[in-house]
């Protein structure tokens, strides 16, 4: 299978979906720039032009309502937030209307299949308001499908799935993954919604990791293997609906659970998975679960502080070592340096 970058995979998924469905259009700040949302909308822009890919003013809340209203008339609007932090401004339309539309009107007002693409920032001191990850709050409220592609094949597959979904979908894409490479099928195969990916099978410990942390976990698992530890790596891919069956089966097999997430611990996704195991796989657990999340403070800017703020592959690997009673010596050596220098 040919390799593509995450950004190319996003682009291919979008183009293939737009090819089949004339109702799809894409709007939001900068979607029609030559730089095309870090490359992900360039081809769509060239192929489908200003009728279906067009810029928008800075108006996050109304634009979301506008997408809802267009979707209610049969369109499939895609709106893009260059940073998902801007989406707070749209939470009312997203959570108080889109998420509840089908339910509140008992399906009698139809559905609103909007797709909100929003980018998670990280690195180069993007700071407290440009590097958050809003999946936990979005998943807390029933009604939204929340996707977090970690690998190029799912960047494409989830884009295709979102653009075939019946209801509103938020896709949180991670900026630090845009240049990563991976196998991507040529044809338009949607990733099944609510089905986790077992990235690698293992027997000693289950690592459930989202988005960029799934990418880090692969590296951690490689290092653990060298130390004779077999980690099973699960990328949930969709936060809501969550594939609890796959996660629980793995925990029942390994008896150990580490969750690595791209956000904070408190009422976050890591806590959700930990709670799931404590409630439904309790008898199988051989050790306390372990959550690996952001340091419990806003994201700082200065490099040494950023380094202390973000967990990495070594954080995950070290936690697994400790959990398995192996010398918990620092694994810092394994971390790759963050070469991100923008564009943001």
Partner 1 sequence: MDLAQPATVAQHQRSTMSQPDADTRIRLYKSLLRVRNCEETLAELYREQEMRTPTHFGVGQEAVAVGVSEAMAPDDVAYSHHRCHNHYLAKGGSILGLAAELYGRLDGCSEGRGGSVHLTARDQGFIVSSAILGQTVAVAVGSALAFKMDGESRVAVTFFGEAACEEGVFYESLNYASIHALPVLFVCENNLYSTESPLDVRQPQGTDLCERTKAFKVESERIDGNDVVAVHQAAAQSLALIRDGGGPRFLECMTYRWREHVGPNFDHEVGRTYRDKAELESWMKKCPVLRAGRGLVEDGLATDTELETWDGEIKTVIAKAIADARASDWPDPKTLFDNVE
Ligand X SMILES: Cc1ncc(C[n+]2csc(CCOP(=O)(O)OP(=O)(O)O)c2C)c(N)n1
74 touching partner 1, by CB under 8 A: yes
116 touching partner 1, by CB under 8 A: no
62 touching partner 1, by CB under 8 A: yes
58 touching ligand X, by CB under 6 A: yes
Q: State the nearest-atom distance from the C-beta of 95 to ligand X, in Å.
A: 13
Is 24 in contact with 11 (CB distance < 8 Å)? Answer: no
Q: How many residues bind ligand X (CB under 6 A)?
A: 5
Q: State the nearest-atom distance from the C-beta of 29 to ligand X, in Å.
A: 5
232 is catalytic: no
**By three-state DSSP, how is residue 241 classified?**
coil
Q: What mask of x and - would describe binding to its own copies in positions 242 to 271, judged by CB under 8 A?
A: x--------------------xxxxxxxxx
Question: Between helices 211-226 and 313-323, what is the axis angle to 10°?
Answer: 50
* Chosen residue from 4, 15, 26, 29 binding ligand X by CB under 6 A: 29
- Site residues (CB under 8 A) for its own copies, limited to 123-142: 127-129, 132, 135-137, 139-142
Active-site residue, selected from the candidate residues 12, 60, 265, 306: 60
Of 146, 291, 116, 306, give the one whose Cα is nearest residue 211.
146
* Chosen residue from 89, 189, 253, 322 binding its own copies by CB under 8 A: 89
Half-sphere exposure of 4 (CA within 13 A, CB side): 21
What is the C-alpha end-to-end distance of the chain, expressed in Å?
Answer: 30
The residue (of 110 and 255) whose beta carbon lies closer to partner 1 is 110
Alpha carbon distance 293, 261 (integer Å): 5
130 is catalytic: yes
Q: Which helix (H) or strand (E) holds 3?
A: strand 3-5
Is 199 in contact with 175 (CB distance < 8 Å)? Answer: no
62 touching its own copies, by CB under 8 A: no
Is 124 in contact with 82 (CB distance < 8 Å)? Answer: no
260 touching partner 1, by CB under 8 A: no
- Site residues (CB under 8 A) for partner 1, limited to 277-306: 295-298, 300-305
Buried b / exposed e over 319-331, threshold 16 CB at 10 Å, is: bbbebbeeeeeeb
Q: How far is CA 170 from the centre of its chain?
A: 9
Alpha carbon distance 152, 180 (integer Å): 7
Is 270 in contact with 261 (CB distance < 8 Å)? Answer: yes
**Tokens of residue 183, six digits:** 């196998």
**Candidates 36-44, 103-111, 228-236, 255-263 — which segment interacts with partner 1 by CB under 8 A?**
103-111
Of 151, 169, 128, 306, give the one whose Cα is nearest residue 213.
151
166 contact choice in ligand X, partner 1, its own copies, none (CB below 5 to 8 Å, kind-dependent)? partner 1
1 touching partner 1, by CB under 8 A: no
341 touching partner 1, by CB under 8 A: yes
The residue (of 29 and 242) whose beta carbon lies closer to its own copies is 242
Residues that bind its own copies (CB under 8 A): 61, 85, 88-89, 91-92, 95-97, 99-100, 103-104, 127-129, 132, 135-137, 139-143, 239-240, 242, 263-272, 274-280, 282-283, 285, 287-291, 296-298, 300
Question: Which residues are marked as active site?
Answer: 60, 130
């Amino acid at each position: 299978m040919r390799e593509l970058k995450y950004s190319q995979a996003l682009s291919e998924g979008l183009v293939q979906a737009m090819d089949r469905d004339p109702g799809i259009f894409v709007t939001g700040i900068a979607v029609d720039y030559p730089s095309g949302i870090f490359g992900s909308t360039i081809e769509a822009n060239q192929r489908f032009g200003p009728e279906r890919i067009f810029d928008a003013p800075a108006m996050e809340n109304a634009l979301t309502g506008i997408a809802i209203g267009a979707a209610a008339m049969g369109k499939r609007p895609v709106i893009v937030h260059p940073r998902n932090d801007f989406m707070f401004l749209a939470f009312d339309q997203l959570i108080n209307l889109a998420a509840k539309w089908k339910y509140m009107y008992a399906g009698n007002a139809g559905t609103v299949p909007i797709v909100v693409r929003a980018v998670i920032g990280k690195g180069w001191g993007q700071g407290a308001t440009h590097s958050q990850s809003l999946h936990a709050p979005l998943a807390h409220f029933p009604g939204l499908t929340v996707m977090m592609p970690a690998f190029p094949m799912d960047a494409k597959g989830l884009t295709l799935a979102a653009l075939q979904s019946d209801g509103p979908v938020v896709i949180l894409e991670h900026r630090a993954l845009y240049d990563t490479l991976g196998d991507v099928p040529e044809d338009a195969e949607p990733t099944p919604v609510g089905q986790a990916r077992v990235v690698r099978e293992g027997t000693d410990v289950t690592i459930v990791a989202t988005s960029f942390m799934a990418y880090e976990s692969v590296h951690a698992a490689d290092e653990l293997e060298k130390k004779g530890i077999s980690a099973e790596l699960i990328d949930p891919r969709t936060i809501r609906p969550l594939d609890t069956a796959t996660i629980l089966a793995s925990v029942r097999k390994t008896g150990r659970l580490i969750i690595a997430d791209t956000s904070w611990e408190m009422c976050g996704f890591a806590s959700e998975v930990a709670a799931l195991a404590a409630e439904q796989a309790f008898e199988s657990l051989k050790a306390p679960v372990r959550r690996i999340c952001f340091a419990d403070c806003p994201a700082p800017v200065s490099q040494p502080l950023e380094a202390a703020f973000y967990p990495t592959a070594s954080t995950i690997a070290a936690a697994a070592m400790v959990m398995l009673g192996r010398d918990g010596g620092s694994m810092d050596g394994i971390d790759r340096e963050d070469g991100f220098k923008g564009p943001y």
